[in-house]
Structure 1
């Protein structure tokens, strides 16, 4: 258990921005010292009402078809050009960790520009930004720099390269936060943390999840629990789920979120099942909150896929949506030093965090009602005396609802079928439960989840 956690309310996004600014400068790669620091910092912001701990998976350990990577250590890394007889330093890891391609193997030597060039990376679309490049599994060394710097490099001089890096046995860390519910089932939120000096991609999702957890912790009665995982992208989800296969059936549904701090419309990527109840709940919430001003698409064709491709995968089958603000035509700050705290809009982070409230509320209260009565229900006779005159549509919808109480449709299904707001359906069903007219079981059940 990590103690000393902050208990903060964040109506204006200050806590989220504080967290982002602390995580941003860290050299967050798959397995590294700064990943451990990142998990510790996140723990300071999570509510004390929940339980938070770090899980560790040793380098070389198998996780399904994957292998836990080694720890990446940069002792020193720089590149110098010999100009007028003296070596002039061009880039240095000590100035910015983005200058080194993540997981570069060691190298030391003198090279011509022609031989060096294939190890240099820049982004002409953002000429003053340093790109972030990773080669986790290719293992080729490289340096990154602004394109404006690259264009000025002498082509006819000698270059000295020092890439003093190591790959050592380490432990891949996964932070796990849990708020228990009555059923022992969970909404799963997965947050990637492994992009050094990147913010929108993807620690904006971390900030949103922590903010939501703080509010949910104040809710003392809930059937559904919450589990949030903070981890290196993909390999972290694989490692955790491979080590906790017994938990997989208890995850009713999931969310992966990143790219939510800037000013573009929200984009919803549906789960692999495409029209799962969880997909329809997300669409319902977004239609209400965004008034139709959001984008939606199928799994693997709507956003850049991340850990949802693990949770949605065959054999795992946790219906998982992805939310972000990826604009049509792409985001030109992507994987560059221009993805920094200055581009974050606290109100946009808060907007997505509040969507989590509505997602969770429906997943938590949704259930499969089964009637205990026979025949058509005598509404006024059993005291279901709603104001039918003010809204005849409600009368028609509620009457139709009573013909679908056979235990095979959820409260959310009934809202869709009967053309009623979900809250109205819950109000009617709640009254019927109190009168002994309906029994039920939790919604988004294991059967529904596959």
Structure 2
């Protein structure tokens, strides 16, 4: 699987920064032309298959809303000055606002204004997806200016809700040697905010490129790009049988901040995905924040819902809800950098590699340990094991752990976890044991078929 050299790493950071700058200004929502533009840009990185789901479609208990298109919006004072201007920040308009063009006194406008108590020029992020309404998000100083206006305020939102439109999603399915399949999902429904979730969007695209270019994949991988909540629900609805058979997955979100790395557990908390994440952090010498599963946050709620029960986790770097810039204009390109996203990619790549290489084995010699010496896999001179000054025995410790635990139930992740030996070393030793006929795969035949 793809490994990143120092030179490649610098190039990758530059590439991430370029894409951050290109994608950040685009107006995204649950639907609309900005979403399609975003996916078209990502298609230059990885060959995504783009799907359109018609608006008005029933998807379980939900209905895909009308497609939202916005061209301009502002609030002008009596002198004709734009106090609030959508063209300066797309966060200024409440997502899915209905069109309006009226002159209003401040008292009538005020219920449609959203602000937060914060120092500096901070614009909050708000939406009204499923309630036809309109509104503006403003800084405290803009609010004060509007409140002091003596005349009527000119209010305009040039938007359209297209009932005959569609919601855009994308996927990339990469087959492996087995039918065991993992999900990597992200969302792209937010306008100009960097950590939530351009960071996850770009990390997912880079991971997809890695797996597509990998010389060998044991597992199959499904990369999914959807608007949050309704997009995941619709994708599950349209791919129900395939999604019910997934082994586990990741929702990639909020992984580009300057803060400490962490992860949100799967709903099972000790699933293979959780263990792979813990191993990846251990091998990167990172002590992560650990967040227990709760049924809020992102699309793990949908993927892990009762009918599907896909164990899904998230690796984060400034997790949603946990940083003051969250869902404001301060979640910008000063807060998120390519190098910070690259730090998360290091851990994500380890996780994907571990999951893809993970296997269960059964010893072909389960009655006591096999004789490694006669196979040239053990020192000819005994007595020096673990003795001060003696040469370390290459792979012997790994092989002894594997042979002891190779009962058809323990996988390589569990063996690495219990032994404290790096996963790659366990994997290498298992390959050696299999080559000399001491291990058999414990996977059922139908999983071994490609």
TM normalised by structure 2 equals 0.87
Supply the distance in 2 between the matched residues of 1:185 and 1:173 (Cα, whole angstroms). Answer: 27
Quote the offset at 1:415 in angstroms.
2.4
Match of 2:237 among 238, 242, 245: 242
Q: Count residues in correspondence.
A: 428
Supply the distance in 2 between the matched residues of 1:286 and 1:312 (Cα, whole angstroms). Answer: 24
Q: Mark the CA change 1:22 to 1:185 in structure 2 (over 3 Å): closer, same or farther.
A: farther
Which residue pairs with 1:42 in the alignment? Answer: 42
Cα pair 1:76 1:163 within 8 Å, conserved: yes
Which residue pairs with 1:231 in the alignment? Answer: 226
Q: Mark the CA change 1:99 to 1:419 in structure 2 (over 3 Å): closer, same or farther.
A: closer
Q: Mark the CA change 1:350 to 1:316 in structure 2 (over 3 Å): closer, same or farther.
A: same
Which residue pairs with 1:95 in the alignment? Answer: 88
Q: Mark the CA change 1:80 to 1:98 in structure 2 (over 3 Å): closer, same or farther.
A: same
Q: Mark the CA change 1:157 to 1:417 in structure 2 (over 3 Å): closer, same or farther.
A: same
Supply the distance in 2 between the matched residues of 1:36 and 1:395 (Cα, whole angstroms). Answer: 54
Quote the offset at 1:115 in angstroms.
2.2
What SS does the aligned partner of 1:408 have? strand
Cα deviation per residue 1:240-264 (whole Å; 9 max; x = unaligned)? 1210112214432211222222211
Quote the offset at 1:97 in angstroms.
2.1
What SS does the aligned partner of 1:31 have? coil
CA RMSD in angstroms comes to: 2.7
TM normalised by structure 1 equals 0.87
Supply the distance in 2 between the matched residues of 1:99 and 1:415 (Cα, whole angstroms). Answer: 50
Supply the distance in 2 between the matched residues of 1:349 and 1:226 (Cα, whole angstroms). Answer: 21
Which residue pairs with 1:251 in the alignment? Answer: 246
Supply the distance in 2 between the matched residues of 1:365 and 1:248 (Cα, whole angstroms). Answer: 21
Report matched runs for 1:343-362 at 5 Å.
Answer: 343-362=335-354
1:317 to 2:304 alignment: no
Cα pair 2:95 2:127 within 8 Å, conserved: yes
Cα deviation per residue 1:174-221 (whole Å; 9 max; x = unaligned)? 111233211144332111111111111101112222223333333211
Q: Mark the CA change 1:397 to 1:230 in structure 2 (over 3 Å): closer, same or farther.
A: closer
Supply the distance in 2 between the matched residues of 1:305 and 1:352 (Cα, whole angstroms). Answer: 19
Match of 1:79 among 66, 75, 78: 75
Supply the distance in 2 between the matched residues of 1:109 and 1:219 (Cα, whole angstroms). Answer: 57
Supply the distance in 1 between the matched residues of 2:366 and 2:223 (Cα, whole angstroms). Answer: 44
What are structure 1's unaligned runs of at least 5 residues? 1-7
Supply the distance in 1 between the matched residues of 2:356 and 2:362 (Cα, whole angstroms). Answer: 18
Cα deviation per residue 1:395-431 (whole Å; 9 max; x = unaligned)? 6664454233221121212223344332332233212
Match of 2:198 among 192, 203, 207: 203
Which residue pairs with 2:118 in the alignment? Answer: 125
Supply the distance in 2 between the matched residues of 1:403 and 1:295 (Cα, whole angstroms). Answer: 33
Cα pair 1:371 1:437 within 8 Å, conserved: yes
Report matched runs for 1:163-312 at 5 Å.
Answer: 163-168=157-162, 169-289=164-284, 291-300=285-294, 305-312=297-304
Quote the offset at 1:155 in angstroms.
5.5
Q: Mark the CA change 1:29 to 1:150 in structure 2 (over 3 Å): closer, same or farther.
A: same
What are structure 2's unaligned runs of at least 5 residues? 1-6
Supply the distance in 2 between the matched residues of 1:213 and 1:73 (Cα, whole angstroms). Answer: 29
Supply the distance in 1 between the matched residues of 2:301 and 2:193 (Cα, whole angstroms). Answer: 21
Supply the distance in 2 between the matched residues of 1:388 and 1:249 (Cα, whole angstroms). Answer: 49
Q: Mark the CA change 1:361 to 1:327 in structure 2 (over 3 Å): closer, same or farther.
A: closer
Supply the distance in 2 between the matched residues of 1:185 and 1:402 (Cα, whole angstroms). Answer: 24
What SS does the aligned partner of 2:36 have? helix
Supply the distance in 2 between the matched residues of 1:213 and 1:430 (Cα, whole angstroms). Answer: 26
What SS does the aligned partner of 2:361 have? strand
Q: Mark the CA change 1:261 to 1:400 in structure 2 (over 3 Å): closer, same or farther.
A: closer
Query: Which moves more between the two structures, 136-145 or 322-331?
Result: 322-331
